[in-house]
Structure 1
Amino acid sequence: MQFGIAGAGFSGAVMARELAQAGHQVTVHESRGHVGGNCHTERDPDTGIMVHRYGPHIFHTGNERVWKYINDFGTMQPYNHRVFSTIGGKVYSLPVNLLTINQLFGRTLDPEQARDFISEQSDSSITDPRNFEEQALSMMGRPLYETFFLGYTRKQWGLEPTQIPASVLRRLPLRFTYEDSYFAHPYQAIPREGYTAIVERMLDDPRIEVHLSSPFDPDQHDRFDHTIWTGPLDAWFGHRFGRLGYRTLDFEEIRAEGDLQGCAVMNYGDLDVPFTRISEHKHFAPWEQHDKTVAFREFSRLAGEDDIPYYPVRLAQDKSLLQTYLDAAGQEPRVTFAGRLGTYRYLDMDVTIADALDAANIMQRAIRARDRIPALLAQE
């Protein structure tokens, strides 16, 4: 079969690889001038630092299959991600852990004392949190919530925490030890040669043809036996039912000698600071040495028509509109929707790869059985 794939991020690249290895011809169209999607990395010509061009990406997973798969395409260098936050002129450790609690409250609590103390702070009357704020108040109480999450969340989402689903906060840990690793997965790494090199190797197959700076036109998908769309779900339909909400990011570059902040990521939770965080990219490769530094202030806002969408908002009204698009997608002939944008889900890289591997397997089984390939292969 001849497959057409819109997008050369992880979803498109993994599916292209798997289908090509199964003997199919694959044509990938990528609107940008590089592969890798928002995970794209490149060497800064002045400093030699590996820059995560669309914001930092840390690979973390507990999925053995995905871990083995990505290691087939490059060296994954172990990396333990740590995040700090500047609030009210003080620096704290994140995610919230025993050090953070003792710092904020000026205590020397041990784990059990801290657990009891936060239990007293928490709002036990909230048994079924309906939104981000209620989840925070029931989980940690008002002081921790207002210090570390209220201002940052307003800036990151452009919304009041009462408008954001409780599930957003449930992904973040609350620890009663001094463990300050941001992620808890057993495998945490960054590719030694960057993510773009990984994706380039995935696409390095004689049955795969890649066209850069070449947007995929949905009106021409009949050129292929089957199309895989990893762009925004609503864009496939020309936004005919309305636009789904996405957030986008703006970056302000900082260049300096030496070390700017001494860590990879520093959050800024105060509302009077307009950016959400500063990422200093040489710290994402501590195995390298650089005399100069490159960092980026990060500003979050609602994506406009011409902006790069980073992640879905998924408010109540978006979920209603999403269902309309999902119903329409299910009726599309010879098209499969995949990836973070194509399924309108917030996916980490490992889940993106796992979904793509599963999707490719489902497609191949359908082809062998002469069944219709499903339009939607995964959805929350």
Structure 2
Amino acid sequence: MQDIAIAGAGLSGAVIARELAKAGYRVTVFESRNHVAGNCHTQRDSETGVMVHVYGPHIFHTDDREVWDYVNSFERFLPYQNRVKTTSQGRVYSLPINLLTINQFFGKTLRPDEAKDFIASRADTSITEPVTFEDQALRFVGPELYEAFFKGYTQKQWGCSPTELPASILKRLPVRFNYDDNYFFHAYQGMPEKGYTAMIERIFDHENISIKLSTPFERSWKQHYAHVFYSGPLDAYFGHEFGRLGYRTLDFERFTYEGDYQGCAVMNYGDLDVPYTRITEHKHFSPWEKHEGSVCYREFSRACGADDIPYYPIRLVKEKEQLAAYEEHARRETGVTFVGRLGTYRYLDMDVTIREALDQARAFLATNQRKSA
């Protein structure tokens, strides 16, 4: 029985550990925090009983039926649709931009075809090849909707002008010419009934898996294992040899409220004079539960420091140059597979993280099977 080390007890580490343990490997998981589940960690608030997404909300959505069946085999997922609202200039609107948003904002009663033509008339058609986020927004929705819903929010989220960000960031944000305000298009959407941490604890529940909490993985330990799956920060593994890769981090200002604070799970704030990007009200992420009290987070985005939790990879020019150097080092590193959002320096949705972890575990098992044949 071969020994495998996994750095990180989040989704990537849990799925890979389970697949390898089932195949007969002994797996040791090293986790720097004092709990499993990484940034998906959920826990009951002792004061209100609300299930809190400790590191900010995580909403599961996918078109991958195998991944959906996989998570449901460890925890029952109940229906949940993300219906985001935004406050701009003292008024509340529905996101993503849809027919209600357009009619509300412009004081119209447009039908879908009329709204398409109207938005097309506001768009800046002189921008034929959008390069920046601002170019794309102006070409896509015109100056009024850009100013109200994207400009301030984006500047707060990324800490720079939208003219410094690539157009590709905005391509993920849809505009709908109907009244559908479900944020995601995916066939399967939901939330784990008892939280993500309960689900991940069940994934780890195998006799061949041992977990060492509050124990960051040390690169020198690699020699003691047949293989290492590393889901920590790529630059940290190599001792930040080429400098720190850039991330945005989040600060949460937690507060409680007796009753219903905002009537929805997520309220964005697009105005620059509001310092936070959004307020999340956590009891609305579990709509099947009833709680009188409420737990809310005001969310502030800023540059990630050495001791902060990295959330969003920046991936602008400087970071891409550093990343190329780290990726070259990673290709040369034997006996280690870099996985997950930190190990690959990419923003990954949860379903993609699980899909990649399943594929990586299966590829490893298939390769080892061929070697032993």
What TM-score do you get using the length of structure 1 for normalisation? 0.96
> Which residue does the alignment assign to 1:18?
19
**Deviation by residue 1:315-373 (Cα, 9 ceiling, x = unmatched):** 011111101100110000111100001000110000000010111111111111229xx
Instruction: Tell me if the contact between 1:77 and 1:190 (Cα under 8 Å) persists in the aligned partners.
Output: yes
Letter in 1 for 2:90: G
Q: Return the offset for 1:170.
A: 0.9
Q: Return the offset for 1:132.
A: 1.1
Taking the aligned partners of 1:292 and 1:20, their CA distance within structure 2 comes to 41
Mapping of 1:120-139 within 5 angstroms? Answer: 120-139=121-140
**Deviation by residue 1:276-317 (Cα, 9 ceiling, x = unmatched):** 000000000111000111101000001000001012011011
Taking the aligned partners of 1:208 and 1:82, their CA distance within structure 2 comes to 38
**Deviation by residue 1:103-146 (Cα, 9 ceiling, x = unmatched):** 11111111000000111111223233212111111111111111
Taking the aligned partners of 1:268 and 1:170, their CA distance within structure 2 comes to 20
Question: Does 2:74 correspond to 1:39?
Answer: no
> Which residue does the alignment assign to 2:8?
7
Letter in 2 for 1:190: M
> Which residue does the alignment assign to 2:195?
194
Worse-matched range after superposition: 172-181 or 126-135: 126-135
Q: Return the offset for 1:182.
A: 0.9
> Which residue does the alignment assign to 1:351?
352
Aligned length: 371
Task: Give the secondary structure class of the aligned counterpart of 1:347.
Answer: coil
Taking the aligned partners of 1:366 and 1:313, their CA distance within structure 2 comes to 34
> Which residue does the alignment assign to 1:113?
114
Mapping of 1:225-264 within 5 angstroms? Answer: 225-264=226-265
Instruction: Tell me if the contact between 1:311 and 1:340 (Cα under 8 Å) persists in the aligned partners.
Output: no
Taking the aligned partners of 1:65 and 1:127, their CA distance within structure 2 comes to 40
Q: Return the offset for 1:219.
A: 2.0
Taking the aligned partners of 1:15 and 1:311, their CA distance within structure 2 comes to 23
Taking the aligned partners of 1:101 and 1:176, their CA distance within structure 2 comes to 9
> Which residue does the alignment assign to 2:334?
333
Task: Give the secondary structure class of the aligned counterpart of 1:238.
Answer: coil
> Which residue does the alignment assign to 1:374?
none
> Which residue does the alignment assign to 1:376?
none
Task: Give the secondary structure class of the aligned counterpart of 2:322.
Answer: helix
Instruction: Tell me if the contact between 1:8 and 1:29 (Cα under 8 Å) persists in the aligned partners.
Output: yes
**Deviation by residue 1:213-254 (Cα, 9 ceiling, x = unmatched):** 111111222111111110111000010111100111000011
> Which residue does the alignment assign to 1:324?
325
Q: Return the offset for 1:256.
A: 1.3
Taking the aligned partners of 1:369 and 1:124, their CA distance within structure 2 comes to 56
Taking the aligned partners of 2:203 and 2:126, their CA distance within structure 1 comes to 51
Taking the aligned partners of 1:163 and 1:232, their CA distance within structure 2 comes to 25
Question: Does 2:138 correspond to 1:149?
Answer: no
> Which residue does the alignment assign to 2:86?
85
**Deviation by residue 1:51-107 (Cα, 9 ceiling, x = unmatched):** 000000000001111111111101001101111011111001001000111111111
Taking the aligned partners of 1:302 and 1:291, their CA distance within structure 2 comes to 36
> Which residue does the alignment assign to 2:28?
27
> Which residue does the alignment assign to 2:306?
305
Taking the aligned partners of 2:176 and 2:317, their CA distance within structure 1 comes to 30
Taking the aligned partners of 1:343 and 1:150, their CA distance within structure 2 comes to 29
> Which residue does the alignment assign to 1:166?
167
> Which residue does the alignment assign to 2:220?
219
> Which residue does the alignment assign to 1:54?
55
RMSD: 0.9
What are the ranges of 5 or more consecutive residues in structure 1 without an aligned counterpart? 372-380
Q: Return the offset for 1:155.
A: 0.3
Taking the aligned partners of 1:196 and 1:112, their CA distance within structure 2 comes to 45
% same residue? 60
Q: 4+ residue runs of structure 1 moved beyond 3 angstroms?
A: none
Letter in 1 for 2:19: E
Task: Give the secondary structure class of the aligned counterpart of 2:201.
Answer: helix
> Which residue does the alignment assign to 1:178?
179
Letter in 2 for 1:92: Y
Taking the aligned partners of 1:135 and 1:4, their CA distance within structure 2 comes to 44
Letter in 2 for 1:61: T
Instruction: Tell me if the contact between 1:49 and 1:294 (Cα under 8 Å) persists in the aligned partners.
Output: yes
Task: Give the secondary structure class of the aligned counterpart of 1:127.
Answer: coil
What are the ranges of 5 or more consecutive residues in structure 2 without an aligned counterpart? none
Taking the aligned partners of 1:219 and 1:162, their CA distance within structure 2 comes to 43
> Which residue does the alignment assign to 2:290?
289
